[in-house]
Amino acid sequence: MKIAIILGTRPEIIKMAPVIRELVKRRMDFFILHTGQHYSYNLDKIFFEQLELTQPRYNLGIGSGSHAEETGRMLVNIEPVLLKENPDIVLVEGDTNSVLSGALAAAKLQIKVGHVEAGLRSYDRTMPEEINRILTDHCSDYL
Protein backbone atom coordinates (compact mmCIF):
# COMPACT_ATOMS: atom_id res chain seq x y z
CA MET A 1 0.00 0.00 0.00
CA LYS A 2 1.30 3.42 -0.97
CA ILE A 3 0.37 6.32 1.30
CA ALA A 4 0.47 10.05 0.57
CA ILE A 5 0.57 12.50 3.45
CA ILE A 6 -0.50 15.97 2.42
CA LEU A 7 0.26 18.80 4.81
CA GLY A 8 1.17 22.43 4.66
CA THR A 9 1.19 24.06 8.08
CA ARG A 10 3.09 23.86 11.36
CA PRO A 11 0.24 22.22 13.32
CA GLU A 12 -0.17 19.57 10.62
CA ILE A 13 3.54 18.72 10.74
CA ILE A 14 3.46 18.40 14.52
CA LYS A 15 0.25 16.36 14.66
CA MET A 16 1.25 14.03 11.81
CA ALA A 17 4.72 13.41 13.29
CA PRO A 18 3.65 10.24 15.18
CA VAL A 19 1.99 8.88 12.02
CA ILE A 20 5.09 9.61 9.94
CA ARG A 21 7.34 7.96 12.54
CA GLU A 22 5.15 4.86 12.61
CA LEU A 23 5.18 4.61 8.82
CA VAL A 24 8.99 4.76 8.87
CA LYS A 25 9.15 2.19 11.68
CA ARG A 26 6.92 -0.20 9.73
CA ARG A 27 8.84 0.45 6.49
CA MET A 28 5.65 1.51 4.73
CA ASP A 29 5.70 2.97 1.23
CA PHE A 30 4.79 6.64 1.73
CA PHE A 31 5.68 10.14 0.71
CA ILE A 32 5.00 13.61 2.05
CA LEU A 33 3.62 16.39 -0.09
CA HIS A 34 4.03 19.83 1.52
CA THR A 35 1.85 22.52 0.00
CA GLY A 36 3.98 25.35 1.36
CA GLN A 37 0.99 27.08 2.97
CA HIS A 38 3.39 27.84 5.85
CA TYR A 39 6.72 28.50 4.24
CA SER A 40 9.12 30.26 6.62
CA TYR A 41 11.88 28.32 8.34
CA ASN A 42 10.28 28.88 11.76
CA LEU A 43 6.89 27.59 10.60
CA ASP A 44 8.14 24.74 8.45
CA LYS A 45 11.64 23.29 8.12
CA ILE A 46 12.57 23.67 11.76
CA PHE A 47 9.85 21.16 12.70
CA PHE A 48 11.02 18.53 10.22
CA GLU A 49 14.54 18.97 11.62
CA GLN A 50 13.70 19.07 15.33
CA LEU A 51 11.17 16.24 15.12
CA GLU A 52 13.60 14.26 12.93
CA LEU A 53 10.97 13.59 10.29
CA THR A 54 11.30 12.37 6.74
CA GLN A 55 11.61 15.39 4.46
CA PRO A 56 8.79 16.07 2.00
CA ARG A 57 9.30 14.54 -1.42
CA TYR A 58 7.34 17.46 -2.87
CA ASN A 59 7.09 21.08 -1.75
CA LEU A 60 4.65 23.06 -3.84
CA GLY A 61 5.69 26.46 -2.45
CA ILE A 62 2.13 27.80 -2.62
CA GLY A 63 2.63 30.57 -0.06
CA SER A 64 -0.12 32.91 1.04
CA GLY A 65 -3.10 34.44 -0.70
CA SER A 66 -6.85 34.54 -0.39
CA HIS A 67 -8.60 31.29 0.52
CA ALA A 68 -9.69 30.86 -3.10
CA GLU A 69 -6.21 31.57 -4.46
CA GLU A 70 -4.48 29.19 -2.06
CA THR A 71 -7.01 26.41 -2.53
CA GLY A 72 -7.03 26.78 -6.31
CA ARG A 73 -3.23 26.77 -6.63
CA MET A 74 -3.03 23.76 -4.34
CA LEU A 75 -5.61 21.78 -6.32
CA VAL A 76 -3.86 22.50 -9.60
CA ASN A 77 -0.48 21.44 -8.18
CA ILE A 78 -1.55 18.45 -6.05
CA GLU A 79 -3.38 16.65 -8.85
CA PRO A 80 -0.33 15.93 -11.07
CA VAL A 81 1.63 14.63 -8.07
CA LEU A 82 -1.18 12.23 -7.18
CA LEU A 83 -1.46 11.11 -10.81
CA LYS A 84 2.30 10.47 -10.95
CA GLU A 85 2.59 8.73 -7.57
CA ASN A 86 -0.76 6.89 -7.67
CA PRO A 87 -1.16 6.38 -3.90
CA ASP A 88 -3.76 4.02 -2.48
CA ILE A 89 -4.74 6.53 0.19
CA VAL A 90 -4.16 10.19 1.04
CA LEU A 91 -3.94 11.18 4.70
CA VAL A 92 -4.76 14.73 5.76
CA GLU A 93 -5.03 16.26 9.23
CA GLY A 94 -7.00 19.22 10.43
CA ASP A 95 -8.88 22.07 8.81
CA THR A 96 -6.60 24.17 6.62
CA ASN A 97 -6.77 24.96 2.93
CA SER A 98 -4.04 22.33 2.44
CA VAL A 99 -6.27 19.70 4.02
CA LEU A 100 -9.32 20.56 1.92
CA SER A 101 -7.26 20.74 -1.28
CA GLY A 102 -5.58 17.41 -0.64
CA ALA A 103 -8.85 15.67 0.18
CA LEU A 104 -10.71 17.17 -2.77
CA ALA A 105 -7.94 16.40 -5.28
CA ALA A 106 -7.74 12.80 -4.07
CA ALA A 107 -11.51 12.26 -4.02
CA LYS A 108 -11.84 13.55 -7.58
CA LEU A 109 -9.18 11.03 -8.65
CA GLN A 110 -10.98 8.19 -6.84
CA ILE A 111 -8.16 7.89 -4.29
CA LYS A 112 -9.23 6.98 -0.76
CA VAL A 113 -8.96 9.77 1.82
CA GLY A 114 -8.30 9.46 5.55
CA HIS A 115 -9.03 12.54 7.66
CA VAL A 116 -7.20 12.71 10.98
CA GLU A 117 -9.21 14.85 13.43
CA ALA A 118 -12.41 14.20 11.50
CA GLY A 119 -15.63 15.23 13.16
CA LEU A 120 -14.23 18.11 15.19
CA ARG A 121 -16.55 21.09 14.93
CA SER A 122 -16.80 24.66 16.15
CA TYR A 123 -20.29 25.06 14.62
CA ASP A 124 -19.25 28.55 13.53
CA ARG A 125 -19.74 28.57 9.77
CA THR A 126 -18.29 32.09 9.56
CA MET A 127 -14.87 30.50 10.13
CA PRO A 128 -13.15 29.27 6.94
CA GLU A 129 -11.67 26.39 8.94
CA GLU A 130 -15.16 25.12 9.82
CA ILE A 131 -16.08 25.02 6.14
CA ASN A 132 -12.84 23.12 5.45
CA ARG A 133 -13.66 20.61 8.23
CA ILE A 134 -17.14 19.90 6.90
CA LEU A 135 -16.09 19.58 3.26
CA THR A 136 -13.05 17.45 4.07
CA ASP A 137 -15.16 15.04 6.11
CA HIS A 138 -17.57 14.73 3.19
CA CYS A 139 -14.69 13.91 0.81
CA SER A 140 -13.17 11.36 3.18
CA ASP A 141 -13.51 7.58 3.20
CA TYR A 142 -11.97 7.12 6.64
CA LEU A 143 -12.84 9.46 9.49
3-class secondary-structure state, position 119: coil
3-class secondary-structure state, position 79: helix
Closest CA to 72 of 37, 41, 38: 37
Beta strands in 8-140, from DSSP E residues, in sequence order: 29-34, 58-59, 89-93, 112-116
pTM of the prediction? 0.95
Is the pLDDT at 126 greater than 80? The verdict is: yes
Starting from the edge strand earliest in sequence, which strands make up the sheet with 58-59, in order?
A: 58-59, 29-34, 2-7, 89-93, 112-116
pLDDT of amino acid 41 = 67
Residue 45: which residues within 8 A CB-CB, separation 6 or more? none
Q: What is the pLDDT of residues 65-98, one digit of tens each?
A: 999 999 999 999 999 999 999 999 999 999 999 9
Q: Which helix (H) or strand (E) holds 11?
A: helix 10-25
Residue 64: which residues within 8 A CB-CB, separation 6 or more? 37, 39, 70
Is the pLDDT at 140 greater than 70? The verdict is: yes
Q: CA 46, CA 65: separation in Å to the nearest integer?
A: 23
